[in-house]
Amino acid sequence: MLELIKEPWPWYIAGPLVGLTVPALLIIGNKSFGISASLRHTCAMCLPANITFFKYDWKKEIWNMFFVFGIILGGVIAYSFLSNPNPITIDGNLKTELAGYGITEIYGMLPEQLFSWESLFTLKGFFMMVIGGFFIGFGSRYAGGCTSGHSISGLSNLQMPSLIATCCFFIGGLIMANVILPFILSL
């Protein structure tokens, strides 16, 4: 059983399990699935300032904080006890392309030449982590939710704003991966 859990699950198993989360939340507690709202709940809980955006009854949304805690705990358990000891396999064409940008040390999920404290203080690292983080936070707030909220929950509820947001997420991802990222990596 442990070996089954350690292996990557095929899309036809993992996809429906993620998809069934939405109706389970709706049926059990009339709740919508999404993660980005948890930052607002955390700020409202920890910073009881006189800011209008944070003045609401965050205690009604405490389930979301337990959900996020479960995601973090699940990640820690999976990394600590269920991680695959074999190195991550990266396509040879991708390795060649990244080497053209000077990224040759790819040993984990994130290349340290891009995602480390040392690279944070470079122009490339600043764009990747600080500017990129700002755009993700701003974008999820401006769109009224993150990709999980819109693409999983909103689409399953047949919400037109979620369809528009999901299309924009994919278009933005294609532009980022094919136009902006190569420019940033060449800095």
1-38 per-position pLDDT tens digit: 777 777 778 889 988 888 888 888 888 888 877 788 88
pLDDT tier at 170, thresholds 50, 70, 90: very high
From CA 102, how far away is CA 116, in angstroms rounded? 15
Q: What is the pLDDT of residue 160?
A: 94
Residue 76 has pLDDT above 90, yes or no: yes
Rounded to two decimals, what is the model's pTM? 0.74
Q: Which long-range contacts (CB under 8 A, 24 or more apart) does 145-149 make?
A: 145/34, 145/36, 145/37, 146/34, 146/35, 146/36, 148/33, 148/34, 148/35, 148/36, 149/32, 149/33, 149/34, 149/35, 149/36, 149/37
pLDDT tier at 72, thresholds 50, 70, 90: very high
Q: What is the pLDDT of residue 174?
A: 96
Specify the higher pLDDT residue, 174 or 146.
174
From CA 116, how far away is CA 110, in angstroms rounded? 9
From CA 128, how far away is CA 120, in angstroms rounded? 8
80-133 per-position pLDDT tens digit: 888 777 777 888 898 898 898 888 888 777 888 888 888 889 998 899 889 998
Residue 58 has pLDDT above 80, yes or no: yes
Six-digit token pair at 104? 């040759």
